[in-house]
Structure 1
């Protein structure tokens, strides 16, 4: 029943990559060096800033949830008349997974970099 319903309306399955993307973004963001320092992982709590929990985290997870859904729906809308319904779900899923991977890599690059001014303030003993 679920597969037939998805093939009739391919947009109904867009929530699956949204949830997976949000979980991936949460894992990438929370495991980064930058987030670790903000959450108290610096030397003796140096650099601790818990405001990232209500400033960065909601935007990271929200963007991760909205982006694959937007790509999924755009793919379905653009290719609805060109591609068969069975293939449309596969193509939309591939596009959503692709944008999720791009978002995760971009998030990793952004969140895993330390601000140069912060690195300079730590002194020359820190070699990154």
Structure 2
């Protein structure tokens, strides 16, 4: 299973699997494995997801999810994917894609705040 990140966490993966089933017509074509086998694997403990699970997580949570990647040219971040835009663009869950199927959550820095040392 590609990917090591789930926005919902391992206990919520059954909800993500249910969302795949609910949206089977829209999702079956982009899964590499047999649909039923894939969904059953998503229900297992300690199974992490990748890009398809980020999309389904946006529907489960009803919030947008924005995926960033480091931009080597600017030494900043660039948006590489956005999911759940139908839930608005405000306050998305932000994740950083490192490559090789690995994602990390990004924490927003509130304007004017500084970290204490």
Structure with the higher helix share, 1 or 2? 1
Structure with the higher strand share, 1 or 2? 2
Q: Same fold, TM exceeding 0.5?
A: no
Could you say which structure has the larger radius of gyration? Answer: 1
**Greater RCO, 1 or 2 (C-alpha within 8 Å, sep 6+):** 1
